[in-house]
Amino acid sequence: MQYEGKVYRPWPEANSLLIQTTLGCTHNKCTFCDMFREKRFRVRKIEEIFRDIDEARQMYPYIRSIFLIDGNVLALKTEFLLKILERIAATFPEYSKIALYAGLNDLRRKSVKALKHLKQAGLTLAYTGLESGDRVTLERIKKGVTPEQAEAGMAKAKAAGIEVLVSIIFGIGGKERSREHIVETTRLLNRMQPEQIAPMALTIQPGTGLEKQIETGEFIQATPLQILEEEKYLLEYLSDFDTIYWGDHANNIVSSRGRLPASRDLFLGKIGHAISNHPVTEQEVLLTSPW
Ligand code: SF4
């Protein structure tokens, strides 16, 4: 199988077969992201994708889950994507899940009818990056999506029956905008009600625009205590819709994974314990107020 350049997949897809369908990301401007900086977006030839699918069949007798990479695969023309999904379904009849990366704007730009076709052809889950529900933060990080556009994309996915995982980033508002970031993010998530939420704490990738903003003092990182307070706020104020919470990204200070709202008290207990006892926050807890 041919993979070109650095390959990324979300951590819940650790056991999935990765099929590279696009190279890079159509947006490629987010200040915190270095995933596809070295790649110009392009679509792989359908014959190459089919060849990878066929080779994977020869290598693996049982494939339950497939993940399509690289960035925003849903930007592909619907007819093209349908061909890939149909080939996957025919080649791996045992599969139970096909997921891909999608921009919330990619969902918004497709018609519900087109999304329904994709769902019927096997697409089950779209991984989307919201990062923040705060308009100012979204503009600062050059995310290229507004809260209204994110909500519209989510609504179309729901109408088509495609599940959506929404990732957000603790600390992406920086020290100064920590509270606005998490308040607005929680508010937007309550409106969107995604089937899955994946929060992760910000790390600064070398060579990114965000790293330069830190060097110039334009962006001051949130403290570990603020990161924990953001997660606490999120868990306290998410409304009672059913969702899977993937709070176990390696960047996170506290690791929590499970269903909400059922596990809310358990996760809040862990956060509260970390705020009181974690070595990275202990001093701050004594000396500062997080917001
Ligand atoms: S965060 Fe997503 S949309 Fe933004 S540049 Fe990276 S891959 Fe593209």
Q: Is 71 touching ligand 1 by the criterion CB < 6 Å? A: yes
| Residue 37 alpha carbon to ligand 1 centre in Å | 9
| Residue 30 alpha carbon to ligand 1 centre in Å | 6
Which atom of ligand 1 is the closest one to the Cα of 28? 5
Instruction: Count the Cβ atoms, other than its own, within 10 Å of residue 42.
Output: 12
CA 33 distance to own-chain centroid? 12
User: Please, are residues 76 and 103 in contact by the beta-carbon 8 Å criterion?
Assistant: no
User: Please, are residues 147 and 185 in contact by the beta-carbon 8 Å criterion?
Assistant: no
pLDDT exceeds cutoff 70 at 291? no
Q: What are phi and psi of 222, to 5 degrees?
A: -65, 150
Identify the pLDDT of residue 45. 96
Instruction: Count the Cβ atoms, other than its own, within 10 Å of residue 46.
Output: 13
Of 289 and 282, the structure prediction assigns the larger pLDDT to: 282
123-131 and 163-170 beta bridge pairing:
parallel
**Read out DSSP for 254-272?**
S-EEEEETTTHHHHHHHHH
Identify the pLDDT of residue 290. 44
Identify the pLDDT of residue 22. 95
Q: What is the pLDDT of residues 206-220, one digit of tens each?
A: 999 999 999 999 999
Identify the pLDDT of residue 287. 45
Q: What is the pLDDT of residues 91-135, one digit of tens each?
A: 999 999 999 999 999 999 999 999 999 999 999 999 999 999 999
| Residue 57 alpha carbon to ligand 1 centre in Å | 30
> How many angstroms separate the CA atoms of 49 and 40, rounded?
18
Q: Is 24 touching ligand 1 by the criterion CB < 6 Å? A: no
* Domain 11-287 grouped into CATH 3.30.70.100: no
Predicted structure pTM score: 0.94
Identify the pLDDT of residue 2. 84
| Residue 128 alpha carbon to ligand 1 centre in Å | 10
Which atom of ligand 1 is the closest one to the Cα of 129? 2
Q: Is 35 touching ligand 1 by the criterion CB < 6 Å? A: yes
| Residue 138 alpha carbon to ligand 1 centre in Å | 12
| Residue 93 alpha carbon to ligand 1 centre in Å | 32
Residue 91's contacts (CB-CB under 8 Å, 6 or more residues apart) are 53, 54, 56, 57
> What is the best residue among 7, 28, 38 to mutate for testing ligand 1's pocket, by most ligand atoms within 8 Å of CB?
28
Instruction: Please name the residue that has the structure tokens 């020290």.
Output: 175
Of 278 and 65, the structure prediction assigns the larger pLDDT to: 65
Which atom of ligand 1 is the closest one to the Cα of 25? 8
Which residue owns the Cα nearest ligand 1 atom 4? Answer: 30
Identify the pLDDT of residue 277. 83
Identify the pLDDT of residue 281. 64
> How many angstroms separate the CA atoms of 9 and 121, rounded?
22
Collapsed DSSP state (helix, strand, coil) of residue 221? coil
What mean pLDDT, rounded, does the chain reach?
A: 94
Structure-block tokens of residue 189: 């998530």
Which residue owns the Cα nearest ligand 1 atom 5? Answer: 28
Q: What is the pLDDT of residues 253-286, one digit of tens each?
A: 999 999 999 999 999 999 999 998 877 665 554 4
Identify the pLDDT of residue 262. 98
Q: What is the pLDDT of residues 66-84, one digit of tens each?
A: 999 998 899 999 999 999 9
Average pLDDT of span 236-251: 96
> How many angstroms separate the CA atoms of 143 and 58, rounded?
40
**Read out DSSP for 79-121?**
HHHHHHHHHHHHH-TT--EEEEE--HHHHHHS-HHHHHHHHHT
Q: What is the pLDDT of residues 10-55, one digit of tens each?
A: 988 999 999 999 999 999 999 999 999 888 999 999 999 999 999 9
Q: What percent of the chain has pLDDT over 70?
A: 96
pLDDT exceeds cutoff 90 at 161? yes
> How many angstroms separate the CA atoms of 122 and 82, rounded?
9
Identify the pLDDT of residue 286. 44
Q: What is the pLDDT of residues 175-225, one digit of tens each?
A: 999 999 999 999 999 999 999 999 999 999 999 999 999 999 999 999 999
